Amino acid sequence: MSVKRLGAFTVSALALLLMIGVVQAGAQGSSQVLKFHQGNQTQAAVGFDINSNATPPVGSQYIITLALYNAAPQFGKPTGARIGRVLLDCTILSVNTASGDGDCTGIIHVPNGYLLFGGSGSAFTNAKHGYWAITGGVGPYANDRGQLRTGGGTAIATLSS
* Average pLDDT of the segment spanning 77-102: 88
Paired residues of 119 in beta bridges: 104
* Average pLDDT of the segment spanning 16-45: 69
pLDDT at 28: 57
Q: Which of 104, 83, 101, 84 is nearest to 93 (CA)?
A: 101
- The answer to whether the beta carbons of residues 96 and 125 sit under 8 Å apart is no
* Average pLDDT of the segment spanning 13-19: 35
> Of residues 8 and 78, which shows the higher confidence score?
78
Residue 22, pLDDT above cutoff 90? no
* Average pLDDT of the segment spanning 115-136: 85
Distances (CA, A) of 52 to 48, 56, 121: 8, 9, 19
pLDDT at 110: 97
Q: Catalogue all structural domains in the chain, each as residue range(s) with its CATH number.
A: 30-160 (2.40.480.10)
pTM for the whole structure = 0.76
pLDDT at 56: 87
Confidence of residue 20 (pLDDT cuts 50, 70, 90): very low
Paired residues of 77 in beta bridges: 74
pLDDT at 51: 93
Residue 115, pLDDT above cutoff 50? yes
> What percent of the chain clears pLDDT 70, i.e. is strictly above it?
78
Name, of 14-18, 96-100, 118-122, 145-149, the range with top average pLDDT.
145-149
Rounded CA-CA distance 65/51 in Å is: 17
87-120 per-residue burial string, b: 16 or more CB within 10 A, e: under 16? ebbbbbbeeebeebbbebebbbebeeebbbbbbb
> Of residues 52 and 25, which shows the higher confidence score?
52
Q: Which of 106, 104, 147, 95 is nearest to 122 (CA)?
A: 104
